[in-house]
Structure formats: structure tokens, C-alpha cells
Amino acid sequence: MNKKPHHLKYSQKGFTLIELIVALALGLLITAAATQLFLGGVVSTRIQQANAELQDSGVFGLEYVARDVRLANYGNISNPELTNTTPMGGIVFSQGGANSNISEDIGETSVTRQGLGSNASENSDQLTIQFIAPNRMFNCEGEEVQAGEYVIQRYFLRKDNNGAATDLALACDANKHGVTSAAGIANFGGNNEGQVIMPRVDHLRFYLGTMTKDSTHTNITYAYYSINDYIAAVNAARSNGEPLPRVVSVKAVAVVRSMDNTNNELIDETKPVQGLDRAVTLTAANQTKHLRRTYITTIAIRNGLGDAL
């Protein structure tokens, strides 16, 4: 009788079906947990990058605007009380001519006004200022201006040519350098798109801070107006022979969004975005998962705080 050698005897062992199922389930759980951690890290990184972008654009962008707006009315020594008819007044409300802030006709589209394009449920604003350069400086379009030269600048929203189809940017348009009066205005307004200061701005509003003194200069009232409300208020006061509310500050409000879509499901893109006096809702085409933030800055018109002699 032939027998197999002892060393050829062997037995086979393996995993049972239950063990395979348990091992597969554990592997899937670990993979799912690792994937969740990875995706969470990606979302967190996107949020941090978006916050950094908003910080740079919102804080530093508005500070750039504030630096020049503080100069409004500089050089207008005989007319420090700013209203909508102050001759050569630092904030330009009218086109030019009689009872106007500016002698040269710059056109109705170039003055301080409401009714410009926006990515929200309400229109945005435009602010136009003028001043005499106090020293050698650069205007908002990067052109060198010498001390004593006349500067007029307007801040507004326009299409961002370097962005998506619906992207708007805060831009600034300045007149040609080298002139010493409004009579020499050139390359201002019209189709001039100006220089982008802040990209990806969905909404822009300007509010005018006013001070009203009674005839004895003892009772003083402070208030903020939208541009249209201020013009209506000062015209009504003038008609009634009452003290005129004079502009002493500007409050700028900008709704800024991040460059990249965060895809964060916690962001409710249909929720109204709070501004200064009211909330606005993004238009349908702009209801995306981008991070958005409202930035507000108050700018004192230092050259409009004194009283006329």
C-alpha cells in the first residue's frame, strides 16, 4: 500500500464569508472617515483663503478710497460748509453752471448719484469728489499730480473685465493730471472705465453724514442720509429758510465676495445681505456659494468741518 510522505500532507485554511464581510465593512468605514476628513480640510482651506481675500479686498480697498475722500474740499478755503450748491464743493452733486458745485459741465452721469448697476436687489451709488492736491501725490488712476493741481475723482461699480460675466468691481475714474482748475477737466466721465480698486463687489452704497446747526449755533443735529434723501432734505430746508444740513462725513458700504466658490452647504445664498440701513438680496445669477462680507467705513471730511468766515 502506497502512502504519501509525511511532508506532503497539508491542509488549507482561509477567511470565512462572515470574516470577509466584517473586514470589508471596517475598510469602508475607515475609508469613509478618511475621505470625510480630507473633504473637511479642503472646505476649511477654501474658507480660510476666502476670508483672507475678503480681508485684503474689503479692508485695504476701502481704506484706499478713504485716503482720498478725506481730501474732499481741500483748497476751497472760502466755502467750508458742504451742501449740494457749495461753489467748488468737495462732493459734486451737480453737473455744472449756476448754483452748482462745479463750474465745468461734467454731465449728469458723472456726478454723485444713485441708480447704478448692482448684483443685488437695489441699485448701487456713485460718489464724485474734488479737491486741490495738497502736495505731490498720485490720483486714483496712478497718474502723478503736483501740489496745487485740480483733482476730480468718482467711485462707482462697473463690469470687471478680468472676472466672470456677472462680476462687478469698484473702480475710480480721475481727470487728466496737470490742470489747476475745473475749466481744464479732460479724460473724465463718459466711457472712461477708470482703475479697479476692489474686485468682486456685489453692491456699493454711500451715505452722507450731516451736521445741522440752528441760528445760534448752540443746538446741533447729526444724521445720515442716502444721496437722494440728502438732496431732498437740503433743498427743502433752503426753500423753508431753515438751517441747511451740511455734509461732514461719508459712510461707504460695500458687499464683497470671495474669488473662488467655497461649495460650503452652510452658506445660504438666498439669505439677504445686511447693509447699513437695510438688507439686500442677491440677484438670481449671483446666488452662489461664494463667501460674502459687508464692509463699512466712515470717512470724515476734514475740510468741511469749519464755518465760513
d(CA 96, CA 8): 110
Cβ(131)–Cβ(137) below 8 Å:
no
37 assigned to some structural domain? no
Whole-number pLDDT of residue 81? 87
Q: Is the pLDDT of residue 257 over 70?
A: yes
Whole-number pLDDT of residue 164? 79
264: left (phi over 0), alpha (psi -120 to 50) or beta: beta
Least confident piece of the model among 32-36, 65-69, 155-159: 32-36
Between the ranges 48-52, 114-118, 186-190, where is the mean pLDDT highest? 114-118
Alpha-carbon dihedral angle through residues 301, 302, 305, 309, given to the nearest 10 degrees: -120
**How many domains in the chain?**
1
219 assigned to some structural domain? yes
Which pLDDT band holds residue 14 (cuts at 50, 70, 90)?
A: low
Question: What's the average model confidence in pLDDT over 214-240?
Answer: 89
Residue 184 cell numbers, joined: 481744464
Whole-number pLDDT of residue 140? 93
Question: What's the average model confidence in pLDDT over 36-58?
Answer: 65
d(CA 119, CA 170): 12
Whole-number pLDDT of residue 210? 94
Q: Is the pLDDT of residue 241 over 80?
A: yes
Q: Average model confidence (pLDDT) for the chain?
A: 84
Instruction: Look up the domain containing 176 and give its range.
Output: 43-304
Least confident piece of the model among 1-5, 194-198, 252-256: 1-5
145 assigned to some structural domain? yes
154 assigned to some structural domain? yes
d(CA 279, CA 120): 10
β-bridge mates for residue 68, sequence order: none
Residue 144 cell numbers, joined: 502723478
231 assigned to some structural domain? yes
| CA-based radius of gyration for the chain | 30
27 assigned to some structural domain? no
63 assigned to some structural domain? yes
Which pLDDT band holds residue 300 (cuts at 50, 70, 90)?
A: very high
Question: What's the average model confidence in pLDDT over 248-271?
Answer: 83
Between the ranges 110-114, 213-217, 283-287, where is the mean pLDDT highest? 110-114
Q: Can you give the pTM of this predicted structure?
A: 0.82
Who wins on pLDDT, 240 or 54? 240
Each residue of 16-42: pLDDT tens digit?
778 788 888 888 888 888 777 766 665
Who wins on pLDDT, 217 or 301? 301
Question: What's the average model confidence in pLDDT over 255-263?
Answer: 80
35 assigned to some structural domain? no
Which pLDDT band holds residue 309 (cuts at 50, 70, 90)?
A: very low
